Amino acid sequence: MKIKVVNQNSKMKTFIEWLIYMFGYSLTLYIISLLFDSFQLDTSCFGIYIFLTTIIIYFLNHLIKPALIYFTLPVTALTLGLFYPFVNVVILKITDLILGKHFNITDLFTAFFIAIFISLLNIFIESFIVKPIIRKLRK
pLDDT at 1 over 80: no
pLDDT at 5 over 60: no
pLDDT tens digits, residue range 11-59? 888 888 899 899 999 999 999 999 988 888 888 888 899 999 999 999 9
Q: pLDDT exceeding 90 applies to what percent of the chain? A: 41
Residue 13 has what pLDDT? 82
Count of CA atoms in the C-beta half-sphere (13 A) of 58: 16
Residue 7 has what pLDDT? 62
pLDDT at 96 over 70: yes
Domain boundaries, the chain: 13-138
pLDDT at 115 over 60: yes
Using CA atoms, how far residue 54 sits from 41, 79, 104, in Å, is 11, 29, 14
Split at pLDDT 50, 70, 90, the class of 90 is very high
Residue 50 has what pLDDT? 92
Residue 43 has what pLDDT? 83
Residue 9 has what pLDDT? 73
- In whole numbers, what is the pLDDT of the chain averaged over residues? 87
Q: Are 30 and 47 in contact (CB under 8 A)?
A: yes
